[in-house]
Amino acid sequence: MNKQNLKVRLLESFMFGLIIALMMVVGYSLDKYHRVQEISQGLFIFPGALLLSTAIIFASLVLIEECFIRKALLLRIETFTDRLGSLRLTLIIWGIMLIFYIPMCRMTPISSISGDLLAITEMLQGKYAIGNHQPILYAMIWKFCMIVQDAVGIDGIALFLLELLQAVVFTYAISVCLSFMMVSLKRYVLTSVSLAGLLFSPFIKAFVVATNKDAFFSAMLVLLIKSIIEIVNDKRCMNDNGFLFRLFVISGFLCLFRNNGCIVLLLEAMALLWYYKKEAIKPCLVLGTVLMLFFMMVGPFFRHFEIANSPVHEKMSVPISQLANVYNNYNYVLSDSEKAQILEYMPNVDKYTDRIADHVKDTFNDVLYKSDKASFWKLWFKVLLKKPVAYIDGFLNLNLYFWYPRSSFLYSEFLPVLALFILFLVVMEEKRKTMCLALLPCVFLLLTSLLGPMVQYRYIMPITVSIPILTAGVRFDCYKLQGL
């Protein structure tokens, strides 16, 4: 790389490093003082954050540009993978991954489970009404596992079977993607590194057998990303019936395993239509059909089987937290009638915590809100005009750890978000704007989490497992790194 290119890369790295450093300063003030007004308290970390982020971005760009591999070695790998073929290579990778993942599956009695799976179990046992807050497909899979346990008579086999199914589906999806990267795109080194990361990361391995639906959802997300990469690399596949059928199945399961999958699909369809226009009509029709069927299911189908929609408050974490923040920390700006109104909607408003909305949200008066939505939003807007900075605090505190690292840095939602950001820089550097289409499902998922907000590591894990696939799938035309 010549000196001129080095200067350009350094300037680019500095500009984006500046953005990250400013995010760190704001994040520090919120993490320590819970108020964005205390931004001056975090200025001391600015120089170090700027230097570190600039160095990481600069090193990433230079490494990609300067890396090379011996052609003789590449030729041997290419000959080997071509001889194996996509199917055999998929089965080999799948087998290797299962060897690593199956020992993680547990034989645990149903009585000791917790979290989402406990809620689904109680729902299936009739302890409360069936609702679509927990994806019905995951509940059906768990019901099947419990039926098998009752038939076999071995306590603990249900959880083992569920975790085994999660591991099999997840590793199969990853194997298909990695095989495609090696056989079709000739990305040998990045694919191997991605596989190693997925095999040896303790966080990912624990997540795959965790008792929630996110392993299934992540499998469908990486398969959707693979489909988009196929379109980007050869748009003729948009007219292939086999490809369109696979896209239909993947998209359907994406919606069924997590409700915000439909938002990801809708936005991705709009992006494809905007970029490819008439050429994208067929895949967009497929995605549109999936969305139509999904909304028919959550409408007439759910009403017929008396499956309740998600409670209203599940979609209102941000406005509820914003009002609760003003009530608890800026009480003096509220009139007596406004305080009384807030208490009517949120009886437990005094239990507000700025990182988690659930303490206040779970007791939100859904009935009162449904009877007069206009009154709530009128109250929300009046309080916004009185203390807008409190609303900013309320929103940023809820999703802080998406853009600011936790004290346990390696177990932080910030890392996959940072990796996604760097991938965008690489794609824009390559002038491969079409590859942004492959990154967009992760971006859209992140946006739904920000607005949710859902700041737990499992919510960001689908993005975490997608990063290796995206890294291997990005084409480095500018640097001609055949085989990397």
Summarised one tens digit per residue, pLDDT across range 197-226 is 777 776 677 777 776 788 899 999 999 999
Task: Give me the residue label for tokens 């859209």.
Answer: 444
Residues 115-125 as b or e (16 or more Cβ within 10 Å = b): ebbebbbebee
Q: Is pLDDT at 182 greater than 80 in this prediction?
A: no
> Distance (Å, rounded) from C-alpha 54 to C-alpha 64?
16
Cis peptide before 453 (omega within 30 of 0): yes
> What does the angle CA 355 – CA 389 – CA 401 come to, to the nearest 5 degrees?
30
Task: Give me the residue label for tokens 């959802």.
Answer: 217
Q: Is pLDDT at 473 greater than 90 in this prediction?
A: no
Alpha helical stretches, state H, 114-240: 115-124, 136-152, 157-183, 188-200, 202-208, 214-233
Q: What is the mean pLDDT of residues 31-50?
A: 74
Is 87 exposed, middle or buried (CB count within 10 Å of its CB: 0-12, 13-18, 19+)?
A: exposed
**pLDDT of amino acid 272:** 92
Return all residues near 114 (Cβ < 8 A) that are at least 6 apart.
211
Q: Of 191, 157, 176, which Cα lies nearest the Cα of 78?
A: 191
| Window from 7-21, 32-46, 69-83, 346-360 with minimum mean pLDDT | 69-83
Q: Of 316, 332, 311, 328, which Cα lies nearest the Cα of 398?
A: 316
Rg (CA), the chain: 24
Please answer whether residues 345 and 383 qualify as being in contact, where contact means their C-beta atoms are separated by less than 8 angstroms: no
Please answer whether residues 149 and 163 qualify as being in contact, where contact means their C-beta atoms are separated by less than 8 angstroms: no
DSSP 432: -
**pLDDT of amino acid 482:** 43
User: Among the ranges 29-33, 34-38, 266-270, 414-418, which has the highest mean pLDDT value?
Assistant: 266-270
Summarised one tens digit per residue, pLDDT across range 454-464 is 666 677 888 88
Please answer whether residues 164 and 102 qualify as being in contact, where contact means their C-beta atoms are separated by less than 8 angstroms: yes
**pLDDT of amino acid 420:** 85
Return all residues near 40 (Cβ < 8 A) that are at least 6 apart.
29
**Cα torsion angle, 409, 413, 419, 424, sign:** negative
Residue 453 has, within 13 A of its CA and on its CB side, a CA count of 27
Give the model's confidence band at 479: pLDDT under 50 very low, under 70 low, under 90 confident, else very high.
Answer: very low
Please answer whether residues 455 and 27 qualify as being in contact, where contact means their C-beta atoms are separated by less than 8 angstroms: no
- Tokens representing 299 are 């409408």
> Distance (Å, rounded) from C-alpha 228 to C-alpha 395?
32
Please answer whether residues 217 and 257 qualify as being in contact, where contact means their C-beta atoms are separated by less than 8 angstroms: yes
Residue 412 in 3-state DSSP?
coil
Task: Give me the residue label for tokens 């080194």.
Answer: 189
